[in-house]
Structure 1
């Protein structure tokens, strides 16, 4: 059973939050606000927070900037994971992924199913690794952001979480890039 090991130190992670929306503004971005609040409550650092339109190029451009920054370890997006023509976050991010974290979507759906039932099938929550950093794509509702953070990310981004967590393997995410240089 999973547990938090108090004999291990807490390691703060540097996180950027991206809201993908054609309509939200900083004042109306409740989902980005939920994530920023939970990141701070957990003791992590909010490196940056942006809103971009539902456009593959705009999404990738912003995420590529963060992938180059030393003060960003994780990108969490909210919005654009649905099924409509404007929902393009998954396509934008998958184009950046070097590895996809398939279990993230599965875990998200298990949590979501308990709250909204089969309606969870309309979400394409996903995650992956790019340039040695994690990217997590959550749906655009505040409830989905709470579910994704509280049910998955809060534990997996905590070095004390056992038997394993995302933080302990962060230094090894870019190993393939080191091999190419050598």
Structure 2
């Protein structure tokens, strides 16, 4: 571990206050394994989950909940799972991108690369996962599969979440 990395980790905020959104027409609290996994992992890493919910794959619902999270000063990060594919019902990305002030293009690129290498092979090209910032709130839009969620959280989001928040607070 280099000096810069150690310094960054020491200076980064320890906790993020998060909103977790599952976008699905079929999932319930009992069947939302991905949303539950995100919440469990955030808590395990010392972050807090201020709110979590399951909403239908409808642009108006997604936009309403995203805006509420962005405008809530007690939310530092919004993690969305579901609705990121290419099916007609998959509208999460369109809503997220319309609200982003800055897109973290590298997140989607790295996620698809890791998905290709470690999880689903060439099917990764159909993922439109993205991340960015709106009004000092970090936003991550992940596929709904538990494998994809684990990959994104473990390899990308959790290692950088504190650093991202530190940059947003500068």
TM-score (norm 2): 0.92
| Deviation at residue 113 of structure 1 after TM alignment | 1.0
Find out whether 1:171 has 2:133 as its counterpart: no
Task: From 30, 55, 60, give the equivalent of 1:57.
Answer: 60
Aligned length: 166
- CA separation in 1, counterparts of 2:113 and 2:6? 21
Task: Decide whether the 8 Å contact of 2:93 with 2:128 is kept in 1.
Answer: yes
**1:60 Cα deviation after fit:** 0.4
Would the alpha carbon gap of residues 9 and 19 (structure 1) be closer, same or farther in structure 2, given more than 3 Å must change?
Answer: closer
Q: What's the counterpart of residue 83 of structure 1?
A: 86
Q: Tell me the alpha carbon deviations over residues 20-41 of structure 1, each in whole angstroms, 9 at most, x when there is no partner.
A: 0000111110110110011011
Answer yes or no: is 1:71 the counterpart of 2:74.
yes
| Deviation for aligned residue 1:167 | 2.4
User: Which residue of 1 is the match for residue 27 of structure 2?
Assistant: 24
Q: Give the alignment of 1:150-165 within 5 angstroms.
A: 150-158=154-162, 165=163
CA contact (8 A) 2:81 2:149 kept: yes
Q: Secondary structure at the match of 1:128?
A: strand
Matched, 1:100 2:93: no
Task: After TM superposition, give the deviation of residue 46 of structure 1 in Å.
Answer: 0.6
Match of 1:117 in 2: 121
Unaligned runs of 5+ in 2: none
- Cα separation, 1, equivalents of 2:45 and 2:73: 21
Instruction: List gaps (5 residues or longer) in structure 1.
Output: 159-164, 173-182
Structure 2 counterpart of 1:180 = none
User: What do residues 150-178 of structure 1 show as CA deviations (whole Å, max 9, x unaligned)?
Assistant: 010111013xxxxxx31221214xxxxxx
Moved more, 7-16 or 69-78: 7-16
CA distance in 1, matches of 2:43, 2:137: 19
